[in-house]
Structure 1
Amino acid sequence: MSSTHLPSTVGLRVVAALAQYGTVSSAADALHLTQSAVSKQLKNIEALVGAPLFDRTSQGLSPTDVGMIYIEQARIALGALETAAVRVAALRRSQPAIRLHVLPILGDRWFMPRFSRFAELHPEIEVEFTTFAASDTVEEADAVFRFGDGNWPGWRADYFLGREVILIGAPQLIARGGGISSLDDIRHYPVLEHRQTPLRWSDFAQATHLNEFVPARINRFGYYSLVIRAAIGGQGLALVPRSLIHDELASGQLINPLGLGFTSPNCYWLTTPANRPLGAGLATLREWLLQEARQSEPMEVALLQETAS
């Protein structure tokens, strides 16, 4: 029998309800349908079968012999569909949360302002965030955000964001130091640095041809968020990925003197274990994350793609 000759699930439910309640009105109430809709569904199925399924009596509807056969199979079919629905629901509930290791600066400045959109789009996907940098936390994660050159043996790496690194400082600091009208003026200012980041002032000096650069003072911090806070507070100049400070640049809390900066191979990457296939939930999350990153810095991604080609 082709699919065009099979009854709809609504039709099967109508037949089962009519057998159970015995009248069109009672079946309609139970199914939240109109009586005319119930009668139409019954008429369509009887036409499909080629024989009446019920005798119309003064006491209501009484199944015919053909109807008894059909009603029994309708109940089996509906029971099978209900069982499948319950099993699928249980499977979804039993799917473990995706373990995502996020660097603190990304969690604070990129994820939290955006992640509610993913939760609204995919309420069935549960994501568990970790930020503790212990090796076992990273190894057990389904996906890990890393900062570096994209080369981690055993891991697939997708560029995320942060390749465009710019020089930043607070307007009051730069004014207090006499202003920055040339590259050499940078030597007169203290600088800020993250202890563990591969971004170094030597990289900036080499990229901008600032020869024999020795800053007035170097203040080092253990977290990038502290580097940014210190820069806002006027404690020194800093090198920061532009993608982390859009708001501060727009508000004027920080400025990028002379548009100075450089393109760094060290940036943020989304990595997943190379020997583990992506599950459906993780694949959906990965696609959403990379799309959001492309939208948040389209010029930077275009530059990366142009450089790689």
Structure 2
Amino acid sequence: MVSARIYPSTRALQVVVTIAEHGSTTACAKALNMTQSAVSKQLLALEQLAGLPLFIRTPYGLSTTEAGRIYVTEARAALGAMENAVLRVAALGSSPNAIKLHILPIMGDRWVIPRFAGFAEAHPEIDVELSTFANNELINQADAAFRFGEGDWPGQSNHYLFGQNVALVGAPHFIARLGGVDRPDDIQKFPLLDHKHTPLRWGEFADAHAISDFTPERITHFGFYALVIRAAIAGQGLALVPRGLIADELESGKLANPKGFGFVSRHAYWLTCPLDRPQRPAMRVFLDWLLHEVSLMPAEYR
């Protein structure tokens, strides 16, 4: 028997996940190429269907409620399953000029997509499909995957991109208002921002700078890296971010890196290609382009 229950649309699930990742309907609209009005309508319809609010407004943007966290978790799984099905079927008759990539949302949003137009214009014959909700099975089926870690994935050709150079950052006015950061251990008097799913933790910063008895007053945890960066720009606290992700904000002055403090992490962004099958010519073209783009980055951002 088929249930008569009404389920949310795929677009509505994309909206709720993207709002959670970016912290606002405006950023969601930009990421999904929708109008802000359309995003708001999708969110309203989903909240009416759920019977509960999925987000609340905070000083650093929209944050998920308990119901919202449930929806985001399950929406990511549902979207991943749909992407898995689409890509597996597409692979049955895929073109040699089509490549499938798994990409981390923060990497795509802040680094790959701003540069991708150059590749598309230079190689219009190559179709690139980017997946962001993939499970491990789908990641292993992709032609390549952007990953964050130590570069030790077995069965993969691991290409270092950037990210080991991690900066301590915050909004300039916020840092000045709380007395500045003249020594590494001054961070303990500041609110700290943390992404609970990344290895770039404050303990690693403390160890790198030999800070003993590290007891910060407050650490606010976020589920998405985009919200950590957004909160830092808004003056909500200090954050640890790979310099390559925030080059524009550092150069424009939206974020400051007091005294150049940071550390060299073991973890970074990599592109991995499976070794158990031949690499498509189109994939070799993309890899050459990607590594060239990385080579153009200043050394301090890598």
TM-score class, shorter: 0.5 to 0.7
CA contact (8 A) 1:164 1:300 kept: yes
1:216 maps to which residue?
217
User: Structure 1 residues 96, 125: CA separation in 2 closer, same or farther (over 3 Å shift)?
Assistant: closer
- TM-score (ref. length: structure 1): 0.65
User: Structure 1 residues 177, 147: CA separation in 2 closer, same or farther (over 3 Å shift)?
Assistant: same
SS at 1:288 equivalent: helix
Write the mapping of 1:8-157 to structure 2, written as runs, cut at 5 A: 94-95=95-96, 97-157=98-158
Query: 1:98-148 CA distances to partner (integer Å, 9 max, x unpaired)?
Result: 001111111111111111111111111110001114223212211000000
**Superposed structure 1 runs of 4+ greater than 6 Å apart:** none
- Looking at structure 2, the residues matched to 300 and 219 of structure 1 have their Cα atoms a distance apart, in angstroms, of 26
Query: 1:147-183 CA distances to partner (integer Å, 9 max, x unpaired)?
Result: 0000111211110111100100111221221222222
Unmatched tracts of structure 2, length 5 or more? 1-93
2:287 maps to which residue?
286
CA contact (8 A) 1:167 1:257 kept: yes
> Aligned AA for 1:165?
V
User: Structure 1 residues 257, 296: CA separation in 2 closer, same or farther (over 3 Å shift)?
Assistant: same
1:242 maps to which residue?
243
2:230 maps to which residue?
229
- Looking at structure 1, the residues matched to 169 and 111 of structure 2 have their Cα atoms a distance apart, in angstroms, of 19
CA contact (8 A) 2:166 2:265 kept: yes
CA contact (8 A) 2:99 2:128 kept: yes
User: Structure 1 residues 133, 176: CA separation in 2 closer, same or farther (over 3 Å shift)?
Assistant: farther
Unmatched tracts of structure 1, length 5 or more? 1-92, 302-309
Shift of 1:272: 0.7
> Aligned AA for 2:286?
L
SS at 1:296 equivalent: coil
2:194 maps to which residue?
193
2:12 maps to which residue?
none
Shift of 1:96: 5.6
Shift of 1:300: 5.4
Shift of 1:278: 1.2
Shift of 1:298: 3.5
Residue 274 (structure 1) aligned with residue 275 (structure 2): yes
SS at 1:234 equivalent: coil
Residue 206 (structure 1) aligned with residue 207 (structure 2): yes
Shift of 1:219: 0.8
CA contact (8 A) 1:199 1:239 kept: yes
- Looking at structure 1, the residues matched to 133 and 211 of structure 2 have their Cα atoms a distance apart, in angstroms, of 37
Cα root mean square deviation, aligned: 1.5
- Looking at structure 2, the residues matched to 175 and 284 of structure 1 have their Cα atoms a distance apart, in angstroms, of 47
CA contact (8 A) 1:167 1:261 kept: yes
- Looking at structure 2, the residues matched to 150 and 94 of structure 1 have their Cα atoms a distance apart, in angstroms, of 30
CA contact (8 A) 2:96 2:281 kept: no
SS at 1:289 equivalent: helix
> Aligned AA for 2:298?
E
CA contact (8 A) 1:147 1:268 kept: yes
User: Structure 1 residues 94, 150: CA separation in 2 closer, same or farther (over 3 Å shift)?
Assistant: closer
1:166 maps to which residue?
167
Query: 1:185-206 CA distances to partner (integer Å, 9 max, x unpaired)?
Result: 2110111111111111111111
Number of corresponding residues: 209
- Looking at structure 2, the residues matched to 280 and 298 of structure 1 have their Cα atoms a distance apart, in angstroms, of 29
1:254 maps to which residue?
255
Residue 177 (structure 1) aligned with residue 178 (structure 2): yes
- Looking at structure 2, the residues matched to 299 and 182 of structure 1 have their Cα atoms a distance apart, in angstroms, of 21
- TM-score (ref. length: structure 2): 0.66
- Looking at structure 2, the residues matched to 299 and 248 of structure 1 have their Cα atoms a distance apart, in angstroms, of 15
CA contact (8 A) 1:161 1:297 kept: no
Higher helix share: 1
CA contact (8 A) 1:165 1:263 kept: yes
Q: What percent identity do the matched residue pairs reach?
A: 54
- Looking at structure 1, the residues matched to 258 and 270 of structure 2 have their Cα atoms a distance apart, in angstroms, of 28
Query: 1:269-298 CA distances to partner (integer Å, 9 max, x unpaired)?
Result: 000112122111101101110110111233
User: Structure 1 residues 246, 280: CA separation in 2 closer, same or farther (over 3 Å shift)?
Assistant: same
SS at 2:231 equivalent: helix
CA contact (8 A) 1:169 1:238 kept: yes
Q: Which structure's CA Rg is the greater one?
A: 1
